[in-house]
Structure 1
Amino acid sequence: MSTYYSELSVPKRYYGYIQKFWTLNNMQHPFYTSVKYALPNGYCTIVFIDGKGISLNIGDQLTELPAGIYLAGQMTRRIGITLSPYTRAVMAQVKPWLPALITNFPMNELVNNVLSLEHLNKKLYSRLLNVNECTQEVVAAELCKNLEIYLQENANTSLIQWAFNRLENSPAQKHRVANLALPSGYTQRRIEQKFKELVGPTAKEIQQILQFRKLIGELDPSQSRGYLSALAHRHGYYDQSHFIRSYQRIMNEVPSLFDHSGYILPISGHFGFIQSSQLADL
Structure 2
Amino acid sequence: MDPIYNEYYVTGILTNFVKKLWILDNLSSRSPILQKGVPPNGCFTMAIVQGNGLHIRHKDQARHLPEGIYFCGQITKTLSLDILSSTKAAMIQLFPWTPACFGVSDAHLFTDKICSASELTYFKELNLDIMIGLNNEMVCNHLVKIFSPSFTTNAKVQIITKSTQLILGKRSDITVASLAKSMKCSERHLQKLFKNFIGISPKLFINIIQLREALDDVVYPNDKLTTVIQVALSNGYYDQPHFNNTFASFIGTTPKNFKEKEFYLTIKK
Give the TM-score, by structure 2 length. 0.91
1:69/1:125 contact within 8 Å kept: no
Alpha-carbon shift at residue 252 of structure 1 (Å): 2.4
**How does 1:1-282 map onto structure 2 within 5 Å?**
3-104=3-104, 106-121=106-121, 124=124, 127-170=127-170, 172=172, 174-219=173-218, 227-268=227-268
Alpha-carbon shift at residue 136 of structure 1 (Å): 2.8
1:124/1:146 contact within 8 Å kept: no
1:21/1:140 contact within 8 Å kept: no
1:92/1:140 contact within 8 Å kept: no
1:35/1:80 contact within 8 Å kept: yes
Alpha-carbon shift at residue 144 of structure 1 (Å): 2.4
Which ranges in structure 2 are unaligned for 5 or more consecutive residues?
none
Alpha-carbon distance between aligned partners in 2 of 1:140 and 1:5, rounded to the nearest angstrom: 18
SS of the counterpart of 2:218? coil
Alpha-carbon shift at residue 101 of structure 1 (Å): 3.1
Alpha-carbon distance between aligned partners in 1 of 2:231 and 2:2, rounded to the nearest angstrom: 30
Q: Match of 2:137, as an amino acid?
A: E
SS of the counterpart of 2:227? helix
Alpha-carbon distance between aligned partners in 2 of 1:183 and 1:105, rounded to the nearest angstrom: 22
Give the TM-score, by structure 1 length. 0.87
2:55/2:83 contact within 8 Å kept: yes
User: For the aligned residues, what is the CA RMSD?
Assistant: 2.2
Aligned length: 265
Alpha-carbon distance between aligned partners in 2 of 1:43 and 1:126, rounded to the nearest angstrom: 21
Q: Which residue matches 1:277?
A: none
SS of the counterpart of 1:253? coil
| Alpha-carbon displacement from aligned partner over 1:106-148 (angstroms, at most 9, x marks no partner) | 2111111100111113764551212212223222321222111
Alpha-carbon distance between aligned partners in 1 of 2:13 and 2:85, rounded to the nearest angstrom: 36
Alpha-carbon shift at residue 41 of structure 1 (Å): 0.8
1:105/1:120 contact within 8 Å kept: no
Alpha-carbon shift at residue 166 of structure 1 (Å): 1.1
Which ranges in structure 1 are unaligned for 5 or more consecutive residues?
274-282
2:44/2:95 contact within 8 Å kept: yes
| Alpha-carbon displacement from aligned partner over 1:186-214 (angstroms, at most 9, x marks no partner) | 01111111001111111100000000000
1:118/1:126 contact within 8 Å kept: no
Alpha-carbon distance between aligned partners in 2 of 1:248 and 1:183, rounded to the nearest angstrom: 31
| Alpha-carbon displacement from aligned partner over 1:48-89 (angstroms, at most 9, x marks no partner) | 101111011223221211111011111110121111111110
Alpha-carbon shift at residue 228 of structure 1 (Å): 1.8
